[in-house]
Amino acid sequence: EQVFLSIFNGKTPAMWLANSYPSLKPLGGYTNDLIERLKFFQTWIDTGIPITFWISGIYFTQAFTTGASQNFARKYTIPIDTLAFDFEMPEEQHPKEKPENGVYCYGVFLEGCKWDWDKWELTESDPKVLYVPVPLLWIVPCKKVELAEFPSYECPLYKVSTRKGVLSTTGHSTNFV
């Protein structure tokens, strides 16, 4: 009965969300998002590893990023616990081939600031604009001792904008990437 009432009211049923990826979207948006996720993975199955990954469409992003680290560690035969991630926003926003190391990802959004496409840096957000897309993100595994030092802004990445989650057995929030 609760499922029927939720669907009737255009809300995503709680029963579905209990066994699904986190989402704050109403039923129509949730359904569209689910279809896009299925298309993304079906394309991956049909055509092989993609050049760019829709990171916000991946349910367990921590496993995905761990996989990127494992691939790097195996390739260079170095211990995975000596690795960290560096992040770049390549100016080529539509790459034709995969990077030699790491992964290209899209589907990340900024809140409270925006990306200046001319200066290629963060800047103040426009009035009344809450969320803006991040440029293509290159997640690059590297040795912790080789991390590049430069002026940067360290910010958290969440799966949904509520910034809250449940503490998992690893001690991390289920909403934190």
Reported as a single tens digit per residue, the pLDDT across 13-31 is: 999 988 888 888 999 999 9
Q: What is the pLDDT of residues 53-97, one digit of tens each?
A: 999 999 888 889 999 999 999 999 999 999 999 999 999 999 999
**CA distance linking residue 93 with residue 66, whole number of Å:** 24
The yes-or-no verdict on residue 132 having pLDDT over 90 is yes
The yes-or-no verdict on residue 165 having pLDDT over 70 is no
What is the predicted pLDDT for the residue at 22? 84
The yes-or-no verdict on residue 45 having pLDDT over 70 is yes
What is the predicted pLDDT for the residue at 97? 96
Cβ contact 113:125 at 8 Å: yes
What is the predicted pLDDT for the residue at 170? 67
Q: What 3-state class would DSSP assign to 63?
A: helix
Q: Which residues contact 160 (CB under 8 A, 6 or more apart)?
A: 22, 23, 24, 175
What is the predicted pLDDT for the residue at 112? 87
What is the predicted pLDDT for the residue at 154? 76
What is the predicted pLDDT for the residue at 126? 95
